Amino acid sequence: MIRPLLTGIAFALASAGAAHAASNASKEEALAMVKKGIAFIKTNGIDKGYAEISNKSGAFVDRDLYLVVYGLDGKCLAHGANPKQIGKDLIDLTDIDGKYFVKERVTLARSQPAGFWQDYKFTNPVSKKVEPKTMYCEKLGETAVCGGVYK
């Protein structure tokens, strides 16, 4: 009697974990969204592009995946999850481990303009918890357009 109950509990927990993982965006989706965002900015211009990227109900927000745009000076130009970041100089922003992830991001954008992945920890807008994240970025002019996924 206890063994089937434990098996059922284990299955339920595994299913819940799989459902949570399935609700998170994938690295492939992040890469595709960054490319879509860059194409949108190139086609529609910076003002319309940044406005759409910063629209929480827009085309560049999907579950825990959203785009951000940073100037290569560290200033946040667009943010799909937190509009309070827009216009702020975030070059000295650190994650929970003290990693200067914005400073690293703009340095990488200058040295790897074709695209790169970056790991750090950040608050997931869906779970509201600090989680490991990997961010894909590409340089566009004097900016880095980025979209990341939570691990």
Indicate the pTM of the whole model. 0.84
Q: Is 7 part of any domain?
A: no
Domain count, the chain: 1
Reduce the DSSP state of residue 61 to 3 states and report it. strand
Residue 19: what pLDDT? Answer: 40
Euclidean distance between CA atoms 23 and 103, whole angstroms = 30
Residue 101: what pLDDT? Answer: 97
Residue 96: what pLDDT? Answer: 95
Q: Is 32 part of any domain?
A: yes
pLDDT in tens, the chain (151 residues): 544 433 343 333 333 343 444 588 999 999 999 999 999 999 999 999 999 999 999 999 999 999 999 999 999 999 999 999 999 999 999 999 999 999 999 999 999 989 999 999 998 888 999 999 999 999 999 999 999 999 8
Q: Is 131 part of any domain?
A: yes
Q: Is 101 part of any domain?
A: yes
**Widest pairwise Cα distance in the chain:** 65
Residue with tokens 């992945």: 117
Q: Is 95 part of any domain?
A: yes
Q: Is 136 part of any domain?
A: yes
Residue 15: what pLDDT? Answer: 36
CATH value at residue 93? 3.30.450.20
Q: Which two tokens stand for residue 71?
A: 């100037």
Q: Give the domain extent around 54.
A: 26-150
Euclidean distance between CA atoms 9 and 81, whole angstroms = 35
Q: Is 6 part of any domain?
A: no
Residue 22: what pLDDT? Answer: 55
Q: Is 21 part of any domain?
A: no
Conformation bin of residue 49: beta by default, left when phi > 0, alpha when psi is -120 to 50: alpha
Task: Kindly state the helix (H) or strand (E) to which residue 147 belongs, with its residue range.
Answer: strand 143-150
